Each structure stands twice: as C-alpha cells, then as structure tokens.
Amino acid sequence: MKRSIAAHLDKWEEYVLFSVMLFMLGTLLVQVFCRYVLSFSFSWAEQSARIGFVWLTMTGISLAAKQGIHLKVDALVQFLPPRPARLIALFSDVFTMGFGVYMGWLIFKTVLMQIRTHQVFASIPWLPTWTMYMAGTIGMLGLTVRTLQRVLRAARANSAAAEGGA
C-alpha cells in the first residue's frame, strides 16, 4: 500500500499535466463552438487557458528535471574525460538547484503580495491571481527537488557500481 501511494506521489507532474490539459481542451472546445456556432463567447475562457498554459509550463519544468531533460548546456561534458565531466555536471546541477530555490522564493514573495492585496483577474473576478503565480513556485521547487533526486540516484548508482567492481 505504501509503495502504491509513493508511486502515485512520484507521478504528480503527470497527473497535473493531464488534468490541466483536459480542462483546457474542454474549455477551449466549448469556447470555439460557442463563438463560431452561437456567436457568443465566454469572457473567462481564454484567460483560463492562459492560466492553464502557465501551469503546464511550470509543471513541465519539474517533470523535465525528473527525467534529466531540462534545458542545460552539456556539450562540454560530452567532450571531457569522465571525472571532469562528472564535476562539471555536478556544478551544473548545484547551480540549477540554487536557481530553482531562488526563483521559487521570489515567485512565492509575489504570491504573498497578491494574497495580501486581494488581486483578481479582470475576466475572472472570482479567481485570485496568485493561483496562476503559485504554479511558478511549485515548478521551481519541483525543479530543485527533482534535480536533487536525480543527483542522489546517480551517486547511489556510481557507489553501487564501484562496490561491485571492487
């Protein structure tokens, strides 16, 4: 049972991406139908799609870090011998984690300011703006945690390989 819950929690990005994409698909299909067939459009539909795109992007950043395919330059690592390449890759990962923590904190400060000032979207007056910005905080912290997980897994694999080879 615990294994099952942990496995589902490890896939939180996939669940968020699926849910947001499904919501956006439904909302935009209804919007297009209403606009072109009924000559009517919802004021909130396109804004909700923009919010969805932000959530897709930020959640995707975390998923990319989990899979080790986030945007980084690794040409130098490919041409160097293994030991210096690992050191440069480690530096890159540490820098990425620092960037994720820093940006996550800055975005979270923006979220707190929006909560304090009660900001809402003009086309969706019942939805606070922090709901969109919170995606940035989650995405950046997800980038940090997923990068750390990947680094720790690689370190464990290297130590297991060293023990097996000794």
pLDDT tens by residue, 117-147: 999 999 999 999 999 999 999 999 999 999 9
Residue 160 · residue 123 · CB < 8 Å = no
Helices 12-37, 2-9: axis angle to 10 degrees equals 50
- Nearest-angstrom CA–CA distance, 113 and 106: 11
pTM summary value:
0.84
